[in-house]
Structure 1
């Protein structure tokens, strides 16, 4: 091992923005770079394709090619930061980040996707030398689903980029002018995964007790597997503004402009938008499912019932009670300070260092001069 750790990282989510997993990978490797870690982004030849073709190219490279071709000449270890990866042990030690275990959502396409995902991640979890996850809730799910022993499982929470996510809105008006936002609005920001319970939120904001307050629902986020009915609903509901996937530079200003942020999801492995909204000084309403209670602490209204009436009641409380809204802002700002990307990077580096300095597995290089496909230095 060299003094400077070199990581080869699968580039599926670094090369295309897919939301939280991209935020995690980008923020982590910026932090690791400051700690002296070099990283090489692994990119398969089919990376420029779209849809299933791109997914298949990445799956083949992650599962079979890179574990067999990336060796000590290129890096000290392999990191798969977005759930999927090697299907067998590689020439280098393998670290995988599993963000959570998806909960079942009805639908033929979803069921097939969930079964395929579980099969791939089961193989990866047993091929990996270290498994990183983002919450104690997800760690419990991973133990139960994949039987990962405790000594290979490391809980490292996400952080907040405080250069972007803060409460100073003095420069936001110019950026947000293009969106023509209503004066007061409920915000949902994230992908349109059916487990996010967006239809119930749409119905909640349309109920008379919220409608009479003159508040609209603004939704920002891209499609997801099985999200077609949600997309149709957002396109037709008169009290909804659907922005689609917005540019990165508008995310924090949109949080700051919102009257309240709502995430009534049926399951979250972490729930990064919750702490990002809190860091922007925005009151948060969320479900009490998955890791959300762990992440939100005492700084959000947490819902045990996710029907539209319960969501509307919580929204009404925040929208009509200035003292409550102020208390949630204050608690949220304090809670967000618990999460820092610098600390996340430091703890990842600890995992990498222990793996490489311990007994570990030796390099599997057998002297072949095969180079990995399309290495991109970052």
Structure 2
């Protein structure tokens, strides 16, 4: 029996869970599994990158800024898609987020009996009681939980009383590589980066990404190195970070004009541009207060770019003491010192050499191989139950 698996994402944009689903789908296909990645697509642009596996960019309606309304509508839209599939279309429904998990749960048990797997990348804290309930339900009710780090495996066990399979993450070494590409130089020129040091922060302007402390650290670095540049890339999200972003903008606006010109906030970028940015950067500055895994870290390392990370989980779960630069994320001075250290000819080049070797430990085929036996057991159990009912 060839396994058929639906991998659901909360969007088609470049976020960690979406990137994980696409790469997992490709790796599952290479293992003989029919994998389809399905995500709501409000703008009709499709997934942020092409994938070797089948994808379904699900047309959905635009919604205002009310997050509860948006989540409710996405749940209904994904539920409608699932309900319209033949009952035997998939052996496994695998949600990468609470929205799609709730969409499947809304149909159970009356409409569908297909097993539901949920991967918890991280858990957001919601003040809104309805959003908090949906988030909790998407942890408590799936048949099986997966997670991407030992850190979140421990949290799910301690806080929610659920065991989760740690499936990890991977990196595509054919795309994330130190080898220069023709588009790299063109991007440097287009963004007017000059030839000074370039620091890259990935994930947009968010509190958990520690954007304000990164900015404060760069202020000190740029005072000593006027040619230095800082780029904040990414940030496609459904959540409302407007208050934090306004505070960030106010801090930046109060700085010296030369520093203001040295900072760029690009928003989400096409995949080839992100690959180039990793290669162009002298360091990835990633001292997040909270991450599920931090996929950008191993993408940067695969690209031969030194990384600066918070001295806390989940980074401690998978990085060695001398494989990156560790910092206290609450201390801008420490972040600034690490940024300067990444430019030290005795430190930066050594980290750049180590990076691809570290990244090679993270293979998407290994991630797929952790899923396939789980899927097979669930599918076999469902088939046995169906035979008993007949």
Q: Which band: TM-score by shorter chain?
A: 0.7 to 0.9
- C-alpha contact (below 8 Å) 1:46/1:57 kept by paired residues: no
| Matching residue within 306, 314, 322 for 1:291 | 314
| Matching residue within 34, 44, 55 for 2:71 | 55
C-alpha separation in 1, matches of 2:348 and 2:179:
17
- Corresponding residue for residue 107 of structure 1: none
CA, structure 1 residues 243+155, in 2 after alignment: closer, same or farther (shift >3 Å)? same
CA, structure 1 residues 303+42, in 2 after alignment: closer, same or farther (shift >3 Å)? closer
- Match runs of 1:92-241 below 5 Å: 92-102=114-124, 111-112=127-128, 115-148=129-162, 150=163, 153-171=164-182, 172-183=184-195, 184-207=197-220, 209-214=221-226, 215-222=228-235, 224=237, 225-232=239-246, 233-234=248-249, 236=253, 238=260, 239-241=262-264
CA, structure 1 residues 137+341, in 2 after alignment: closer, same or farther (shift >3 Å)? same
Report SS of the residue matched to 2:60: helix
Structure 1 residue 193, shift from structure 2 partner: 2.4
Residue 323 (structure 1) aligned with residue 317 (structure 2): no
Structure 1 residue 70, shift from structure 2 partner: 5.3
Structure 1 residue 38, shift from structure 2 partner: 1.7
- Corresponding residue for residue 332 of structure 2: 308
Which string of whole-angstrom CA distances, capped at 9 and with x for unpartnered residues, describes residues 168-187 of structure 1?
01422134432222322111
| Matching residue within 31, 36, 46 for 2:32 | 36
CA, structure 1 residues 70+120, in 2 after alignment: closer, same or farther (shift >3 Å)? farther
C-alpha separation in 2, matches of 1:198 and 1:22:
22
C-alpha separation in 1, matches of 2:272 and 2:152:
29
Return 259-268 or 164-173, whichever deviates more: 164-173
Structure 1 residue 144, shift from structure 2 partner: 2.2
C-alpha separation in 2, matches of 1:129 and 1:334:
36
CA, structure 1 residues 283+42, in 2 after alignment: closer, same or farther (shift >3 Å)? closer
CA, structure 1 residues 361+204, in 2 after alignment: closer, same or farther (shift >3 Å)? farther
Structure 1 residue 312, shift from structure 2 partner: 1.0
Structure 1 residue 288, shift from structure 2 partner: 1.9
Return 183-192 or 247-256, whichever deviates more: 183-192
C-alpha separation in 1, matches of 2:37 and 2:349:
43
C-alpha separation in 1, matches of 2:170 and 2:339:
27
- C-alpha contact (below 8 Å) 2:7/2:35 kept by paired residues: yes
C-alpha separation in 2, matches of 1:49 and 1:340:
36
- Corresponding residue for residue 371 of structure 1: none
CA, structure 1 residues 326+144, in 2 after alignment: closer, same or farther (shift >3 Å)? same
CA, structure 1 residues 66+286, in 2 after alignment: closer, same or farther (shift >3 Å)? same
- C-alpha contact (below 8 Å) 1:48/1:54 kept by paired residues: no
Return 119-128 or 309-318, whichever deviates more: 119-128
C-alpha separation in 2, matches of 1:281 and 1:78:
36
CA, structure 1 residues 357+41, in 2 after alignment: closer, same or farther (shift >3 Å)? same
What count of residue pairs does the alignment treat as equivalent?
Answer: 348
Structure 1 residue 8, shift from structure 2 partner: 2.8
Structure 1 residue 362, shift from structure 2 partner: 3.3
Return 271-280 or 231-240, whichever deviates more: 231-240
Structure 1 residue 228, shift from structure 2 partner: 2.3
Structure 1 residue ranges without an equivalent (≥5): 105-109, 368-378
TM-align CA RMSD:
2.8
